[in-house]
Structure 1
């Protein structure tokens, strides 16, 4: 019997326009009626996820910032803060590539410099609470993730020491996320499963991109979306219909409800 449903957002639960699929609220009500917990697991920050889900968000738990922040029962239960010297090193290294736009993420907001309108449009898709600063290196806050947007899709971080000391993962064709070593959606999910005494056999996970690999491994019912890159499909036991076809809801109806 499934007790836990975990879904990535972009390219997975959300449709091609970045919206929740029609029928989501009804499915959520039916899951709650069966005491099945639902978790949104995303590279997005908590404040953006709250906006995405609106009033029904209070019924969900969240793995945010690719596992750097976990919210359960509307309370932050875990955050992984980057060392200040490491933040400075990443900023310095990333700025060597002119096409890189950096987003410095704290639990409550994201910091950016004054980028072009093209970059701002892309960044605002995912970060709804932004503070524009003159110099990112002077931020005094708990930093849990650094995101790099590169509209040219070029390599973002090449420094070997940084790649050894940090978790650096591609989250989309033009996005790279950087967090502490060992931080990922899978580790965050496992902590929630242990807290609620839920087994792998009782867990259903949906994902579509490389930052979902670790959490897919934590579920017996692991679904990779049809629209995922072909080399991602080896990491799921099942293939769900694409996000455009509301594949997450269709699989939940078949396997959990």
Structure 2
């Protein structure tokens, strides 16, 4: 099959556990791109800390960021589509996180805000540094001039498990998603990697069966099941592997390289 649109998750998929992109994977992605396929990063990161990987590889096109909440043109930095949240409805969730002493950030397409930059715990600041981000102080929501697209909570996995169990009992107006072992996202109910990838495929005139997607976590399931070929990393939870058509090597073993070599270059 000649795949025309290839969606790659970033953390746990494209990058190894040291947040590095291997030269072998870069070389293979470039070769796939030269063969005519369009590469899009489909990530929970924002565009400001995902576009640099596209530039490192030497690619233009699009990034699907914030787990599908905002799609951005790599060169122009234009937001071509975003799912805006109801800012008034966010307030109750922010108060809930504060009451539980769970750290959270509030995101527009290009900006990230937290309650207190100076008061962040060491492990929280380290997390942002690993993801190449430093948030700004959160202003009143009434002062936002851009749509809010995502609210992310960060804490230990067992804490977020309990938070998730409580929040789903609210019959929430948002999509509540475990986007990583230490992350929980709130987004517009229609926002997902799968929906954003479908919209981009339609925009680019690509049929569903011509889409290949590679990912490793629960937030990747919608894009793996949308794609004509969905490939899970070997470091994925069992539920993610079950949702995929195939499984490749882990992110520490250049699984993206192996999958692209097998399905796009063989």
TM-score normalised by structure 1 residue count: 0.91
1:146 is aligned to 151
Structure 1 stretch 238-247 or stretch 154-163: which is displaced more? 154-163
1:64 is aligned to 65
From the superposition, tell whether residues 234 and 23 of structure 1 become closer, same or farther in structure 2 (CA, over 3 Å): same
1:221 is aligned to 229
From the superposition, tell whether residues 245 and 163 of structure 1 become closer, same or farther in structure 2 (CA, over 3 Å): farther
2:27 is aligned to 26
The unaligned stretches of length 5 or more in structure 1 are: none
* Counterpart check, 1:198 vs 2:206: yes
1:97 is aligned to 100
From the superposition, tell whether residues 195 and 73 of structure 1 become closer, same or farther in structure 2 (CA, over 3 Å): farther
For 1:211-250, what aligned pairs fall within 5 Å after superposition? 211-250=219-258
SS in 2 for 1:91: helix
SS in 2 for 1:96: helix
Give, in angstroms, the shift of residue 168 of structure 1. Answer: 0.5
2:82 is aligned to 79
TM-score normalised by structure 2 residue count: 0.88
Q: How many residue pairs end up in the alignment?
A: 255
Give, in angstroms, the shift of residue 3 of structure 1. Answer: 0.8
The separation in 1 between residues aligned to 2:206 and 2:49, in whole angstroms, is: 27
The unaligned stretches of length 5 or more in structure 2 are: none
The separation in 1 between residues aligned to 2:47 and 2:239, in whole angstroms, is: 29
Are the equivalent residues in 2 in contact too, given 1:109–1:129 (CA < 8 A)? no
The separation in 2 between residues aligned to 1:208 and 1:28, in whole angstroms, is: 18
From the superposition, tell whether residues 132 and 254 of structure 1 become closer, same or farther in structure 2 (CA, over 3 Å): same
Deviation per residue, 1:184-234 (Å, 9 max, x gap): 000000001111121122111101111011111111211011111122211
1:131 is aligned to 136
Deviation per residue, 1:80-130 (Å, 9 max, x gap): 1212211212211221212x1011111222111232111111133235142
